[in-house]
């Protein structure tokens, strides 16, 4: 099927989903979180983040080179690796990688119509992306080893405080723990062995030249398999853990994780299914670790250091520093709830419209614990079930765990609790 006819087929499928956010609407919402946002305050914060990221990547060298970029990682000042090593904590990487593969196993049985829609959607998002969206995607991609990208979901005041504290090494325990919790998707990529969009036969993907980070004009590409997305796993893990540490910005940070995944599609190096699968795995992994008492002790120590450092930088209580006014805080905009919901499915066709109750895995409610402390565990579980995505979308699979992690809408759950409260 040619790209033209595939896009037509995808458009017909989208038209059948009358209440879904369309691709153009989603692109407009995503644009709110780029240097083209229209908010001078937000755009200034984005520029500040980019400058901090480039300076870290440059690492004192006269200029930023691509070879330096490929070796970049958090400095010893930024991340207290000695503290984490001394804890002796075992992340059980292989076991959790295998759990991720099992969670995503339904990918191998998807029908060709779903894969065609998957291909059509990445082409449409990639080819129609604005310059600002591409620049944001490049900044997201090249800063994968750092936490800079999360700052724009904290609001202008707290975001600047975060950048200052991060580079001073005042968040060093949180920085090392968050990055260590990113369980690599390499095993899953090898298992599923699915080619990236820009490598598919007959593709029309536009590879984006780097004019914002290294600024050498080299088209951005990526190695390894496509499914699932390693960058999205990083973005969702980092943003979600930070949301657990700063629940005053929970919904904005959850949206930031989804937005990070969207950037991968903008660059044409990942499909929607890659991004959707990594969200599932990252959320499952964060819940798994937060339910482990040994990890929770490390998390609490890191969280306390982070919150204390941010209050020191802000000069006021963290809750006050996290407050913003309309027009300067695009990630807190109510429209981002629609964007988040869109990224759960990218409007790919449902495989089944049969209703199916959500079974919440034991302990999953921990993801809403810090954001909604006034609710009991049972109430948080009920909220997750009530606000879940309808059944039948790709990757929801056949098992209760696959169903739950595909359908879990943290943004909707939080919003409904706040509305009722």
CA angle 10–15–21, rounded 5-degree value: 95
Tracing tokens 């598919």 back to the chain, one arrives at 200
Query: For 72-130, what is each residue's pLDDT tens digit?
Result: 999 999 999 999 999 999 999 999 999 999 999 999 999 999 999 999 999 999 999 99
Domains in the chain: boundaries? 3-350
Q: What is the DSSP string of 324-341?
A: --TTS-GGGSTHHHHHHH
What secondary structure letter does DSSP report for 146? Answer: S
Q: Give bridge partners of residue 219 from the DSSP assignment.
A: 209
Query: For 64-77, what is each residue's pLDDT tens digit?
Result: 999 888 889 999 99
C-alpha to C-alpha distance for 145 and 173, rounded to whole angstroms: 15
**Which 3 state secondary structure label does DSSP give 209?**
strand
Superfamily of segment(s) 3-350? Phosphatidic acid phosphatase type 2/haloperoxidase (1.20.144.10)
Backbone angles phi, psi at 371, to 5 degrees: -75, -30
Q: CB burial class (10 A; 0-12, 13-18, 19+) of residue 373?
A: exposed
Predicted local distance difference test score (pLDDT) of residue 91: 98
Report, as ranges of residue numbers, the positions in the chain whose pLDDT lies below 50: 1-18
Predicted local distance difference test score (pLDDT) of residue 3: 41
Tracing tokens 């973005």 back to the chain, one arrives at 235
Q: Of 128, 101, 160, which is closest to residue 30 (Cα–Cα)?
A: 128
First to last CA, the chain: 51
How many residues are recorded in the chain?
Answer: 421
Predicted local distance difference test score (pLDDT) of residue 364: 98
Q: What is the dihedral of CA 329, 415, 287, 359, to 10 degrees?
A: -150
C-alpha to C-alpha distance for 62 and 147, rounded to whole angstroms: 23
Predicted local distance difference test score (pLDDT) of residue 7: 42
Residue 411 near residue 255 (C-beta atoms within 8 A): yes
Predicted local distance difference test score (pLDDT) of residue 84: 98
CA angle 94–100–101, rounded 5-degree value: 90
Record the tokens describing residue 237, joined without a space: 């893990």
Backbone angles phi, psi at 149, to 5 degrees: -60, -25
- Helices (H) and strands (E) counted in the chain, each on its own, are 20, 0
Report the 3 state secondary structure along 50-82.
Answer: HHHHHHHHHCCCCCCCHHHHHHCCCCCCCCCHH
Instruction: Flag whether the pTM goes above 0.85.
Output: yes
Predicted local distance difference test score (pLDDT) of residue 421: 65
Residue 79 makes CB contacts below 8 A (sequence gap 6+) with: 172, 175, 176, 179
């Amino acid at each position: 099927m040619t790209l033209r006819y595939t896009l037509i087929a995808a458009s017909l499928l989208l038209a059948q989903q009358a209440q879904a956010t369309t691709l153009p609407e989603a692109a407009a919402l995503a644009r709110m979180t780029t240097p083209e946002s229209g908010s001078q305050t937000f755009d200034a914060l984005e520029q500040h983040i980019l400058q901090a990221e480039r300076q870290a990547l440059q690492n004192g060298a006269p200029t930023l080179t691509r070879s330096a970029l490929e070796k970049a990682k958090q400095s010893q000042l930024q991340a207290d690796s000695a503290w984490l090593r001394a804890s002796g904590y075992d992340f059980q990487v292989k076991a959790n990688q295998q759990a991720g593969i099992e969670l995503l196993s339904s990918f191998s049985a998807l029908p060709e119509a779903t894969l065609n829609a998957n291909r059509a959607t990445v082409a449409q998002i990639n080819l129609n992306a604005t310059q600002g969206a591409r620049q944001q995607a490049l900044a997201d991609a090249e800063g994968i080893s750092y936490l800079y990208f999360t700052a724009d979901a904290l609001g202008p005041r707290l975001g600047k405080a975060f950048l200052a504290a991060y580079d001073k090494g005042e968040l060093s325990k949180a920085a090392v723990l968050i990055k260590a919790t990113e369980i690599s998707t390499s095993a899953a990529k090898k298992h599923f062995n699915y080619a990236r969009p820009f490598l598919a036969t007959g593709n029309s993907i536009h590879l984006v030249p780097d004019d914002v980070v290294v600024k050498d004009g080299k088209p951005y590409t990526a190695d390894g398999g496509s499914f699932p997305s390693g960058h999205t796993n990083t973005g969702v893990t980092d943003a979600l853990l930070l949301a657990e540490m700063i629940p005053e910005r929970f919904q904005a940070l959850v949206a930031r994780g989804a937005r990070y995944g969207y950037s991968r599609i903008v660059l044409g190096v990942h499909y929607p299914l890659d991004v959707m699968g990594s969200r599932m795995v990252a959320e499952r992994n964060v819940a798994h670790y937060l339910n482990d008492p040994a990890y929770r002790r490390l998390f609490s120590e890191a969280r306390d250091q982070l919150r204390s450092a941010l209050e020191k930088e802000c000069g006021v209580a963290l809750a006050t520093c996290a407050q913003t006014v309309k027009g300067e805080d695009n990630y807190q905009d109510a429209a981002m709830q629609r964007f988040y919901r869109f990224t759960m499915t990218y409007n790919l066709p449902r495989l089944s419209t049969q209703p199916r109750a959500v079974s919440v895995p034991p302990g999953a409610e921990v993801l809403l614990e810090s954001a909604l402390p006034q609710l009991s565990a049972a109430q948080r579980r009920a909220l997750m079930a009530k606000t879940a995505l309808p059944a039948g979308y790709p990757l929801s699979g056949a098992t209760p765990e696959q169903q739950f992690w595909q359908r879990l809408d943290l943004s909707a759950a939080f919003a409904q609790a706040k509305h009722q409260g």
